[in-house]
Structure 1
Amino acid sequence: MRRYEHFSENAVQAEGITPLQYLLLLHIKGYKNREWATIGELAERLQAKQHGVVALVTRCEEAGLVERRANLDDRRRVEVHLLPAGEDILTRLAEVHRAELRALQGVFTIPNLP
């Protein structure tokens, strides 16, 4: 498992982002039936404090990966959306992660249990 984690960290850093930025992008992408997440939702999913997630979103925004938008129904609510650059990174990383998982097939086996 650590081998895969190490591979993933290196792959993410090769894209010019941190593992935490990658997790943020994944969590935004992972919401069903919508293309955004709130800071509070991201904090919950990342198990982080809201002010830390605000700083993380700001760094991703400065890198052109995400953008904040006011919610159309409640202008006080802020949505965090993936931008094309963020989507592109996720697509590339999904491909390299999938290839690594294929390479690891058969390495992890579960013994027969009684």
Structure 2
Amino acid sequence: MTTRRKPAVSAGVPTKDDIEAMSLFRYQLRRFLRFSEEVTHTEGITSLQYQLMLHVRGFAGRDWATVGELAERLQAAPHGTVALVSRCEANGLVLRRASRADGRQVEVHLTVKGERCLARLASKHKLEIEAFGWAFNRTPPQE
């Protein structure tokens, strides 16, 4: 039985195994992102709009998010996130509400249309993640 050596976790020059692991990770990540781009396009939205909806619904303990929280999750500038929220709002996927707790904050919520779209897309993404889940949380298959 052949065992694969785990990449070294240390600072300094990456080993050949490190480079191979990084290459495989980037390949799997790109495959997943391409899949996501294709399925979101068939749904009539962009991958970024899907990500926004996913993050709106994905906060623990609540079903909404602030623009600042969404900007952080998307790793985007706040003004770009505002524009993305506006596009999603124009498509009927999200709506904005003034926060009851803090009137200076705006909460972004999914609409019924947004919930349905997210459910369809999240189901497809879940199946794709499970299809090559080892890339995220399991030992890779032997080559």
Decide: shared fold, TM above 0.5: yes
Counterpart secondary structure, 1:37: strand
Residue of structure 1 aligned with 2:90, choices 58, 62, 65: 62
1:110 to 1:27, Cα distance in 2 relative to 1, 3 A: same
Cα deviation for residue 104 of structure 1 reads 4.4
Percent identical among aligned pairs is: 55
Match of residue 41 from structure 1: 69
**Superposition TM-score, scaled by structure 1 size:** 0.86
Counterpart secondary structure, 2:65: strand
2:122 aligned partner, one-letter code? A
Match of residue 120 from structure 2: 92
Structure 2: unaligned runs, 5 residues or longer: 1-27
Cα deviation for residue 48 of structure 1 reads 0.8
1:55 aligned partner, one-letter code? A
Q: Which whole-Å deviations, capped at 9, do the CAs of 1:26-66 have from their partners, x for residues lacking one?
A: 11111011111111111111111110000000000000000
Query: Is 37-46 or 61-70 further displaced after alignment?
Result: 37-46
Cα deviation for residue 73 of structure 1 reads 2.1
1:110 to 1:41, Cα distance in 2 relative to 1, 3 A: same
